[in-house]
Amino acid sequence: MLQKADISFEAQYLQTALGPMTILKSPAGISIKEAINYQNKPIIACNCYYSENNRYSYQVIYVVLEPDLQNPTYYLESDGTLPEFFINPEGKLYTAIEVYHPDKDGLITMVPCFDRDDITYPKPKKVTLGDYIGIYHDFAIFKNVDIFSDKQLDKLIAVEFKHGELKKSYTAKIPFPKYNQFYIDNDNKQIHIIAKSEENCWLHRQIDEKGAVIQSRRIDIACNDYPNCVLNLSFCESSYVVTHDEGGIFYLITLTPQGEATQNKLFDVGSPLFWVWDPVKIATETFVIYFTIETGNGWITLRNNKVIEAFLQQQAGKFTNLLTNEIIILAEQKLIISDLISCQNNSYTLVFYDYQEDRTKRNTTLFVLNRTLV
């Protein structure tokens, strides 16, 4: 079992108009790597900084919160850095960490996140996993899309487990077009991808864990948008994809099994969108999508393909309910969304950090907000 970390966070718990929130402050600084929900507990991987002999160093820690966000526990990651969470096919939480080697950089090993007693550590390998997207048969599946290169092919990484033991990882290059959105159909055990292949045309493919194409179809579409946010993909039933334009309007694209596409306006944020993240499924037909605009960030929640809530930070720490115009104050400083994770019972957790205008200063505060839908 990982050793508990001796961390002196200043902790504050409060109720907000959006739900309970825990605030953790580290005087020397804290940076968030990523977050996950495991056994209904938010777990956040952080670098926690400290001063030693007038020099700054850091520890990699895991912050584990109870479902009500109280009583945080801290664990020290002693085997590596840059942790990436994922769930193995047996439902156990794993972490991929970069291990030190005197002559090689980027060596990764994958181990259980907490319970490492009596395990045999896998041999570190040079691999870039990317983003964890789910389980497919005996594989934990990751996507790796290089958004800075038009020539670098998208990759699918499949990490194989047998009887709870890690066996092998496979990396498959996805043929063009690139900038694919990936979707795992857990009910039918299928992997789908979709990308813009040319002007007014999308390519929808079903692939296996090695990247081999099982079936594909070309979809003519009246808009020139990219398929940014996939709600679901299917060849047998209707598929739903959310796109957006430069002005800040979200659209719902419906794809029929016959390959016909229709576009309907979903929501107008009222400001140009800088970046939109993948949807997070929090319940049946319920998704949360967060985004960034010039003045801040926000999120929308969809249920049965309709927006049921929308929040936008236009002033530091103040979020506007775009459906009611109510102003909700969460903090005095500007908050940046680091992660949004699904919880149980129609709820989700948002992880924020404090924005620093002075880029020479470290972020010092972690905000964890839980919201439950009615």
CA 111, 113, 119, 124: dihedral to nearest 10 degrees? Answer: 20
Tokens of 316: 């530091």
- Residue 352 CA to chain centroid, in angstroms? 13
Sequence letter at residue 272: P
Distances (CA, A) of 288 to 28, 311, 340, 346: 33, 11, 8, 11
State the Cα–Cα distance between residues 61 and 156, nearest whole angstrom: 28
| pLDDT, tens digit only, all 374 positions of the chain | 899 998 878 999 999 999 999 999 998 899 999 999 999 999 999 999 987 777 778 999 999 999 999 999 999 999 999 999 999 999 999 999 999 998 899 999 999 999 999 899 999 999 899 999 999 999 999 999 999 999 999 999 999 999 989 999 999 999 999 999 999 999 999 999 999 999 999 999 999 999 999 999 999 999 999 999 999 999 999 999 999 998 999 999 999 999 999 999 999 999 999 999 999 999 999 999 999 998 889 999 999 999 999 999 999 999 999 999 999 999 999 999 999 999 988 999 999 999 988 878 899 999 999 999 98
- The partner residues of 35 in beta bridges, in order of sequence, read 44
State pTM to two decimals.
Answer: 0.96
- Provide the 10 A C-beta neighbour count for residue 367: 24
Q: How many CA atoms does the CB half-sphere of 54 hold within 13 Å?
A: 0
Tokens of 100: 């030190």
